[in-house]
């Protein structure tokens, strides 16, 4: 009986069109309706549902109905990663490129932007090395500077100071970091409008499992406002409100 009560509540989230729900939301809704529900029974039943592939882990404190974990294509940034590792073997850096998300765009872009994050004290040195290598590189452009420099046709690399504790794997950014960074950069550099961003987000998060905890964590690391529209986009797919 207890198992059916919990499963029915989870099915309500799923039938509402949500792709993710938090343990916090589930616990609140469950105990509101059934105050005597045993917390240990809740944990045991959730473990059974995971084993039965009814739900899947979407990061710390989050679950999803999506079985397939998003697989990020690293190939578009492999050469630049190898170049930087060869030239700066001790350098801590991570990279992402809009080209990695090419299958998820609605309008196919005519140029791509590669973002390189490293210690701010090394950005000038990296910039000079990439220029020598014949790359189109821009050093930490501001919103005002972007208005003058982005009438270019070539694919461009952007150097940015690294963010402490940013989600990364080896030398590439995770998809969760990318989705937050792209949201910020699209407004600074004007390479994507809001509608295109939302389509990309939907094409990824609504069909592939991502870690919601990493996104919300990194939004806070980037010091975005609690009223940031990115939260509203995220909340389209999550039963729990993620901001505010």
pLDDT at position 190 is 87
Structure tokens at 99: 């080209």
| Max CA pair span of the chain | 69
Q: What's the CA gap between 142 and 195, in Å, rounded?
A: 23
Q: What's the CA gap between 153 and 156, in Å, rounded?
A: 9
151 band by pLDDT with thresholds 50, 70 and 90: low
What pLDDT digit, counting tens, does each position of 100-125 carry?
999 999 888 888 999 999 999 999 99
Q: What's the CA gap between 115 and 128, in Å, rounded?
A: 16
Q: What's the CA gap between 123 and 110, in Å, rounded?
A: 27
User: Residue 69 pLDDT more than 80?
Assistant: yes
Please say whether the beta carbons of 172 and 94 come within 8 A: yes
Q: What's the CA gap between 27 and 41, in Å, rounded?
A: 12
What pLDDT digit, counting tens, does each position of 204-230 carry?
999 999 999 999 999 999 999 888 999
Structure tokens at 45: 């039943």
| Angle separating helix axes 39-51 and 2-15, nearest 10 degrees | 60
What pLDDT digit, counting tens, does each position of 162-185 carry?
999 999 999 999 999 999 999 999
Mean pLDDT of 89-98: 97
Mean pLDDT of 74-88: 97
Q: Of all helices (H) and strands (E), which one includes residue 138?
A: strand 137-139
Please say whether the beta carbons of 50 and 57 come within 8 A: yes
What pLDDT digit, counting tens, does each position of 224-236 carry?
988 899 999 999 9
pLDDT at position 111 is 86
pLDDT at position 244 is 55
Residue 71's alpha-carbon distances to 20, 58, 101, 209, in angstroms, are 18, 14, 11, 9
Residue 137's alpha-carbon distances to 47, 212, 229, in angstroms, are 49, 32, 30
- pTM of the predicted model as reported, rounded to 2 decimal places: 0.93
pLDDT at position 3 is 77
pLDDT at position 35 is 87
Work out the angle at residue 183's Cα, subtended by the Cα atoms of residues 241 and 208, and round it to the nearest 5 degrees: 65
Q: What's the CA gap between 96 and 30, in Å, rounded?
A: 40
Cβ neighbours of 153 (radius 10 Å): 8
């Amino acid at each position: 009986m207890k198992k059916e009560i919990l499963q029915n509540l989870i099915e309500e989230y799923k039938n509402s069109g949500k792709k993710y729900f938090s343990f916090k939301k589930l616990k609140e809704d469950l105990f509101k309706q059934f105050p005597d529900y045993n917390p240990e029974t809740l944990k045991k039943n959730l473990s059974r549902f995971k084993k039965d592939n009814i739900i899947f882990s979407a990061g710390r404190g989050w679950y999803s109905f999506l079985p397939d974990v998003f697989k990020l294509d690293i190939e578009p940034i492999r050469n630049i990663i190898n170049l930087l590792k060869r030239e700066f073997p001790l350098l801590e850096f991570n990279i992402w490129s809009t080209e990695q998300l090419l299958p998820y765009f609605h309008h196919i872009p005519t140029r791509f932007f590669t973002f390189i994050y490293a210690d701010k004290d090394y950005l000038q040195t990296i910039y000079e090395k990439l220029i020598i290598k014949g790359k189109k590189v821009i050093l930490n452009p501001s919103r005002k500077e972007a208005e003058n420099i982005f009438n270019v046709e070539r694919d461009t690399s952007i150097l940015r100071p690294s963010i402490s504790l940013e989600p990364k794997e080896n030398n590439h950014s995770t998809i969760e970091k990318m989705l937050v960074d792209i949201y910020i950069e699209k407004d600074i550099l004007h390479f994507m409008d809001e509608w295109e961003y939302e389509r990309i987000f939907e094409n990824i998060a609504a069909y592939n499992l991502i870690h919601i905890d990493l996104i919300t964590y990194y939004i806070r690391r980037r010091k975005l406002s609690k009223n940031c529209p990115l939260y509203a986009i995220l909340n389209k797919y999550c039963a729990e409100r993620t901001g505010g």
